[in-house]
Amino acid sequence: MKRFFIPAIVILFVLLSAVFFVLKQNAPEYKFNVMMTGNVVMAVLSIASFFLVTKQIDNRPEAFVRGVYSASLLKLMVCMAALLVYVVMNRKEIHKPTIFVLMGIYAAYSIVETTLLSKMARGTK
């Protein structure tokens, strides 16, 4: 399962990038740069959390859970900070559907990451 994690994140990244490119062509009011930045940040954070959790996977079960929680908290805090920066910088031109797309990016990466990491943890026992 460890071999499948990074390719799965890359596939998700490519799929979301393709969706954003199509969205850029068909609905230019969406902020393409913001969505792609969010996609890149979430991919990097997911890969970083993978390495954080794989260090903990061979330890006791509570250490694995702590690794997953810390990775999730890291992603959540980085996303909240990035969203705050976006809102402060674009106070007059905030496109709310773009913010909802960013929430969807977070949800997609979290679902894929949690699913794969839990399968990986069950497989190592």
- Looking at residue 1, what is its pLDDT? 56
- Looking at residue 54, what is its pLDDT? 80
**pTM above the 0.75 mark?**
yes
The total of structural domains in the chain comes to 1
- Looking at residue 7, what is its pLDDT? 93
- Looking at residue 41, what is its pLDDT? 94
Q: How far apart are CA 114 and CA 109, in angstroms?
A: 8
Q: What is the CA radius of gyration of the chain?
A: 16
Within 10 A of 122 (CB to CB), how many other CB atoms are there? 9
- Looking at residue 124, what is its pLDDT? 59
- Looking at residue 121, what is its pLDDT? 74
Provide the token pair at 109. 């990466």
Question: pLDDT below 50 — which residues of the chain?
Answer: none
Buried b (16+ CB within 10 A) or exposed e, 65-96: eebbeebbeebeebbeebbeebeeeeeeeeee
Domain with 20 in it: 2-122
